[in-house]
Amino acid sequence: MPLPIVHYNDPILRKKGAKVTAFTPEIAGLANGMVGAMNEAGGIGLAAQQVGLALQLCIVDLTGAKRDFTWEIDGKKPPLELWMPMALVNPIVTVLPGPEDVYEEGCLSFPEIRGDIVRPDAIRVQFSDLDGHPHVLVCNGLLARCVQHEVDHLNGTLFIDHMTKKVRTEVDAAVKELAKRTREANKPKA
Ligand SMILES: [Zn+2]
């Protein structure tokens, strides 16, 4: 059975993830389980908080997405399939100079809720792989957007926090309804 995905407004989604300090088989197993959950749900990224753990670990997989982005890892341009699904441990994002871009985002913790979000187009990410080896990813477009969305999760930030007031108002009823459903589902059974 795939790991269940936590929905808004479960408190874990607002918790900053602890730094991963030991690159154990358990962490690799967790990443693997997250890939299963993400694939099952048809997503392109997932953060540890979304499976109920406040840890600095997220995964992304854009092999099935439109490849209108560029990416470079450790100064090289390997085929996407060699690296994805990719686990990013303890990632740190630096925004690169350049334009911002608007795109309609969704989130597996917000089923059926989508909204336009403005984000920087290009970023640089320092992270470790599951063996603890450090890497530098430079990317733009959908990959940069996906990584920013996931790294936000690791710090307790959600995509609704980035919405303009207008967009946030448009989804407000659905967000409140989802929070209510989650609260009811999380209630201890009598
Ligand atoms: Zn999300």
Domain, as residue range, for 47:
11-184
- 154 in a structural domain: yes
Question: Distance, CA 106 to ligand 1 centroid (Å)?
Answer: 7
Q: Is residue 62, in this structure, part of any structural domain at all?
A: yes
Residue 119 lies in a domain: yes
- Flag whether 70 is in a domain: yes
Burial of 132: CB neighbours in 10 Å, binned 0-12, 13-18, 19+: middle
Does residue 190 register a pLDDT over 70? no
In-domain check, residue 87: yes
Give 190 Cα–ligand 1 centroid separation in angstroms. 31
Give the model confidence (pLDDT) of 113-138 as tens digits. Answer: 999 999 999 999 999 999 999 999 99
Domain presence at residue 1:
no
pLDDT digits (tens, 9 = 90+) for 13-34: 999 999 999 999 999 999 999 9
Of 150, 170, 177, 184, the catalytic one is 150
pLDDT at position 1, please?
Answer: 77
In a domain, 79, yes or no: yes
Q: Is residue 3 in a domain?
A: no
CB burial class (10 A; 0-12, 13-18, 19+) of residue 93? buried
Number of structural domains found in the chain: 1
Q: Find the 32 Cα to ligand 1 centroid distance in Å.
A: 18
The CATH number that applies at residue 96 is 3.90.45.10
Cα 61 to middle of ligand 1, angstroms: 13
49-74 pLDDT tens trace: 999 999 999 999 999 999 899 999 99
Cβ density class 149-186: b for 16+ within 10 Å, e for less? bbbbbbebbbbbebbeeebeebbeeebeebeeebeeee
Distance 105 CA to ligand 1 centre (A): 9
Catalytic status, residue 26: no
